[in-house]
């Protein structure tokens, strides 16, 4: 795969990753990875009636071709951004190298009898 990729990172309140992935898939993303996380903030904000409040978060990492990065970011913001229950923030970072990815086009993944991809012959 020679197309450059970007990693979209979205941090949302726990339980709202479906909002992120629904929006991302509608914008052309194929899938993502969810990681559990815990938010941190000002100690003054974390205290509520003498009880420490630690907001549980989830991080969604979505690898997309650079050509659809902006479309996916906008969709994720609309579907799970700060104006939604997900209270999400999202950003993209460039990815310099990737391995292990398969093309969405099945013909691009066909191999010959000697195990080489058809375009490598």
Report pLDDT digits (tens) over 11-50. Answer: 999 999 999 999 999 999 999 999 999 877 666 655 555 5
Residue 22 DSSP SS3: helix
What pLDDT does 64 receive? 96
- pTM given for the model: 0.74
- The total number of structural domains that make up the chain: 1
Query: How far is it, in rounded angstroms, from Cα 54 to Cα 57?
Result: 9
| Phi, psi of 22, rounded to the nearest 5 degrees | -60, -50
Q: Do 8 and 61 contact (CB within 8 A), yes or no?
A: yes
Q: Which of 59, 49, 63, 71 is nearest to 20 (CA)?
A: 59
CB–CB of 103/119 below 8 Å? no
Q: What is the CATH number of the domain that holds 68?
A: 3.30.70.120
pLDDT tens digit sequence for 82-93: 999 999 999 999
pLDDT at 117 over 60: no
State the burial class of residue 62 (Cβ atoms within 10 Å of its Cβ: 0-12, 13-18, 19+): buried
Which are the contacts of 14, defined by CB distance < 8 A and separation ≥ 6?
36, 56, 57, 58
Q: Which domain holds residue 9?
A: 5-120
């Amino acid at each position: 795969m020679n197309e450059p990729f970007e990693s979209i990172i979205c941090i949302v309140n726990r339980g709202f990753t479906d909002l992120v992935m629904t929006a991302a898939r509608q914008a052309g993303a194929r899938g993502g990875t969810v990681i559990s996380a815990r938010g941190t903030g000002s100690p003054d904000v974390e205290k509520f009636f003498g009880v420490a409040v630690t907001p549980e978060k989830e991080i969604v990492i979505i690898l997309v071709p650079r050509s659809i990065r902006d479309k996916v970011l906008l969709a994720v913001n609309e579907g799970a951004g700060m104006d939604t229950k997900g209270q999400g923030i999202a950003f993209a970072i460039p990815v310099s190298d990737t391995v292990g990815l398969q093309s969405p086009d099945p013909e691009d993944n066909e191999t010959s009898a000697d195990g080489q991809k058809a375009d490598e012959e």
